[in-house]
Amino acid sequence: MATQKRTVIYVSDGTGITAETLGHGLLSQFEGIEFRPLRFPFLDSEDKVRDCLARINEVCQREGTRPIVIMTQTNAELSGILHQADAFFIDLFDAFIVPLEQELDARYTRAVGRSHGHANPEYNSRIAAMNFALAHDDGVSDTDLKSADIILVGVSRSGKTPTSLYLSLQFSLKAANYPLIPEDFERDHLPSRLLPYRSKLFGLTIAPEQLHRIRNERRPHSKYASLENCRYEVAAAEKLMRREGIKWFDTTARSIEELAVQLMQELNLER
């Protein structure tokens, strides 16, 4: 049976990132269909919208199937023009903004890109958090661990860096990370710099086989990457974390999104 192929068109007068994120979430529920994305961001004038309309109809004619249009168009007039296209529409504003206006007894402000503009204090705190994560990656600096919201520990390549960055970008969390290295296992205690911050420490661990694969890509055939050494480091790190009472998560089969959300839950429980 031939695979069904469908073009998905993301349309927005902003970046279209909200539309795209929703699209991924919805369309990933349908197996065995190949979705090809096309992006039309920043459609903020009638000219641009009419160009896009023509492109949508062109896709429809060429493919013989109507494309799926996922849109966050805040301007009702421009949105109306787009709806003339021969397409299947998922219109976030149509579906939710009008009912929300009633519920909140307020009018929406038709402000493009408001969710991530410089005027938005949340945006600025997100960038500050990302800079914090970069400055405190892999124990690079411990001058400011006091102001960290969370400190991740674990062996090299256990997933600390991507998780820290994701926590900063998605949740504006100041996330530092600190590697556990063979010296720590020999001393059999936590790096002393971390001791004052025990309540903010969470561990990451990983299956030795997967760690071996990941490290081997970086430094093939090194002792560092050998399965034997990976087994030793993971076992020693888990022993250390168990003794120090650090709660840890296994990153082997978890995505960074899942990990990040689980860590957020832990922080909420603690607070």
Q: Residue 80 or 117: which CB sits closer to a second copy?
A: 117
The CA distance from 188 to 236, in Å, is 9
Which residue number, 186 or 269, has a Cβ lying nearer to a second copy? 269
| Range in contact with a second copy (rule: CB under 8 A) among 20-28, 185-193, 197-205, 229-237 | 20-28
Which residues contact residue 2 at a Cβ distance below 8 angstroms, ignoring those fewer than 6 apart? Answer: none
88: contact with a second copy by CB under 8 A: yes
DSSP string, 160-178: HHHHHHHHHHHH---EEEE
Task: Tell me the window of 111-119, 147-155, 184-192, 222-230 that interacts with a second copy (CB under 8 A).
Answer: 111-119
Stretch 219-248 residues interacting with a second copy (CB under 8 A): none
Closer residue to a second copy in complex, CB, 156/170:
170
- DSSP string covering the chain: -PPEEEEEEEEESS-SHHHHHHHHHHHTTSTTEEEEEEEE----SHHHHHHHHHHHHHHHHHHSSPPEEEEE---HHHHHHHTTSSSEEEEHHHHHHHHHHHHHT------TTGGG-TT-HHHHHHHHHHHHHHHTGGGS--TTGGG-SEEEEESTTSSHHHHHHHHHHHH---EEEEE--HHHHHHTS--GGGGGGGGGEEEEE--HHHHHHHHHHHSTT-TTT-HHHHHHHHHHHHHHHHHHT--EEE-TT--HHHHHHHHHHHHHHH-
Does 166 bind a second copy (CB under 8 A)? Our answer is yes
Window 174 to 203, contacts with a second copy (CB under 8 A): none
209 near a second copy (CB under 8 A): no
Stretch that binds a second copy, among 45-53, 94-102, 194-202, 240-248 (CB under 8 A): 94-102
Of residues 116 through 135, those in contact with a second copy by CB under 8 A are 116-118, 120, 123, 127, 130-131, 134
Residue 158 among known ligand-binding residues: yes
**Member of 96, 144, 187, 239 binding a second copy (CB under 8 A):** 96
Tell whether residue 165 is a contact of a second copy (CB under 8 A): yes
Q: Which residues pair with 33 in a beta bridge?
A: 4
Pick the closer one to a second copy by CB: 32 or 245: 32
154 is in an annotated binding site: yes
Annotated binding residue 157: yes
173 residue type, one letter: L
Annotated binding site for ADP: 154-161
- The footprint of a second copy (CB under 8 A) covers 4, 6, 15-18, 21-22, 24-33, 39, 41-42, 68, 72, 74, 88, 90, 92, 95-97, 99-100, 103-104, 106, 108-111, 113-118, 120, 123, 127, 130-131, 134, 161-162, 165-166, 169-170, 253-258, 260-262, 264-265, 268
